Structure 1
Amino acid sequence: MRILISNDDGYFAPGLACLAQHLAKIAEVVVVAPERDRSGASNSLTLDRPLKLRKAASGYYYVNGTPTDCVHLAVTGMLDYQPDMVVSGINAGANMGDDTIYSGTVAAATEGYLLGIPSIAISLVGSNLVHFETAARVASDLVLRFGAQTHHAPWLLNVNVPDVPYDQLQGIEVTRLGKRHKAEPVIKALSPSGETVYWVGAAGRAQDAGEGTDFNALNLQRASLTPLQIDLTQYSQIDAVRNWLGQDLA
């Protein structure tokens, strides 16, 4: 099995190194990651300048672009083969509920999925973030399970793992995305030059965190595994919008 690994924390991130070390034991891996932290980059592509691909002393490749750029460049130009899987992470922090819209970690996996490749985004959830090994072992287990089965279509999985030792992990639960309250207000400050600047506020607390959600699974010290889809169509509103327009549409 050949796996493309990426992330949004940058090619120097400890979570990336831990993931690559573990997956290299069970597959052929190549790492293509951003040259700097691109957290919150979502699915953005760099279209206003050329991308540069460089190789670090670690053997990892890094790109002066977004997580989506990294996977797109690797699959459509750099590699002379299509990977069997894309694994993105291990992100330093949660990607649950509404976070998935903004997450560069999820975006890297999404790009693999859009290119027809089964993809996993994996994140470590907690305050100290020391047990990357736990998340890496979960990722390895999922990859092995994937390799042992036949799949008729690619899938996109969002995985969040509690920051606990592996022997304290209470299993893996298949979940749906929960929902957060709206984000905290922006923080107003002055730059050293006296200019008014604004910092984006913290993410809101969990609002929908009931049974079956990713938030609830993490509260129970379980890893959450949520299958994602890309179709954003709100089908239940199609007829309502037609009626609002007041005309029949072809």
Structure 2
Amino acid sequence: MRILVTNDDGIFAEGIYKLAKHMQSNGEVVVVAPDSERSASGHAITMHSPLTVKKVKFFNTEIEAYSVNGTPADCVKIGVEVLCKTQKPDLVISGINNGPNLGTDVIYSGTVSAAVESAILDIPSIAVSMGSYESNQFDDAAQFISSIFKKMIESSSLHNIIINVNYPAKPKSEIKGVKITTLGTRRYDNAFIERKDPWGNSYYWISGTVRDIKQDVESDIAAINKNYISITPIHFDLTHFKHFEELKKWDFHI
């Protein structure tokens, strides 16, 4: 069994180290991850400059590991199609992200986009994130992902589905259980912070605080807020099938 591990926090982030270490009990682990942080890079791929791949010593382990000067999606593409060409991964896991990937934020997430790229390549994938930025350890989340590994592999119907997991940043004793969830809605206030350069020109930082809005009780956000592990099945097919049928009824004139 071969497992490709990646992330968007960079190859030497603690979260990917703990994830890769725990997954060793399930099979051969290969790490292919960005050489530096690529958070909120979405599903960008590198088209107009070359990708540099370097084999690296991965912490204190003997895990085969490569750093890439590209995005998380780049890492999965080159990992599957080049570095693991002779033996394709059976599963791709992206994380453990230092912070949540909930609701509509998954569109921007490099962590989730790496898992999406795997699904596009017809390999099952898991994206895993901590439910807040307050986490000071990743072992419990890594152990949980290791425990659901066999279920993911054995479920043939999940071959191109992404499982998006958000794990509460709480002691295990405070976690109430697991919920299968839908994507909630994330909105932000004061998203742009204006600054002035020495010549008086404006520049902006994208920031903001999460707006407290009512969530569906089955959403990932509601689950995390109540200290449940959230598991959301997502997919790259963005077709809105209800409107697909409606648009077929339109009378188009060319």
**Same fold flag (TM > 0.5):** yes
Q: Which residue of 1 aligns with 2:142?
A: 136
Structure-1 residue corresponding to 2:18: 18
Structure 2 CA distance, aligned partners of 1:232 and 1:183? 27
Q: Give, in whole Å, the separation in 2 of the partners of 1:34 and 1:205.
A: 31
CA contact (8 A) 1:179 1:206 kept: no
Name the residue aligned to 1:30: 30
Q: Which residue of 72, 76, 92 corresponds with 1:71?
A: 76
1:49 aligns with 2:49: yes
Q: What is the Cα deviation at residue 248 of structure 1?
A: 6.5
Moved more, 175-184 or 130-139: 175-184
Residues 112-171 of structure 1 show CA distances to partners (whole Å, capped at 9, x for unaligned) of: 111010000000012421131121111111113334x34145121100000012233221
| Unaligned runs of at least 5 residues, structure 2 | 59-63
Please tell me the residue identity of whatever aligns with 2:42: S
CA apart distance, 1:206: 4.8
- Seen in structure 2, the aligned counterparts of structure 1 residues 87 and 247 have a Cα distance that, compared at 3 Å, is same
CA-atom RMSD in angstroms: 2.0
Cα displacement (A) at 1:205 = 2.3
In structure 2, what is the equivalent of residue 9 of structure 1? Answer: 9
Q: Deviations over 1:17-56 (max 9, x none)?
A: 1111111122210000001110111111100011111022
Moved more, 38-47 or 197-206: 197-206
Partners of 1:110 and 1:156 within 8 A in 2: yes
Specify the SS of the correspondent of 2:156: coil
TM-score of the two chains, using structure 2 as the length reference: 0.90
Letter in 1 for 2:213: Q
AA aligned to 1:60 is A
The whole-number CA distance in structure 2 between the counterparts of 1:89 and 1:212 is 23
2:96 paired residue among 90, 98, 106? 90
Unaligned stretches of 5+ in structure 1? none
Paired positions, count: 247
Distance 1:129 1:192 in 2: 38
User: Is the Cα contact below 8 Å between 1:134 and 1:164 reproduced in 2?
Assistant: no
Q: Distance in 2 between matches of 1:157 and 1:248?
A: 42
Q: Distance in 1 between matches of 2:44 and 2:22?
A: 29
Cα distance in 2 for partners of 1:227, 1:152 equals 12
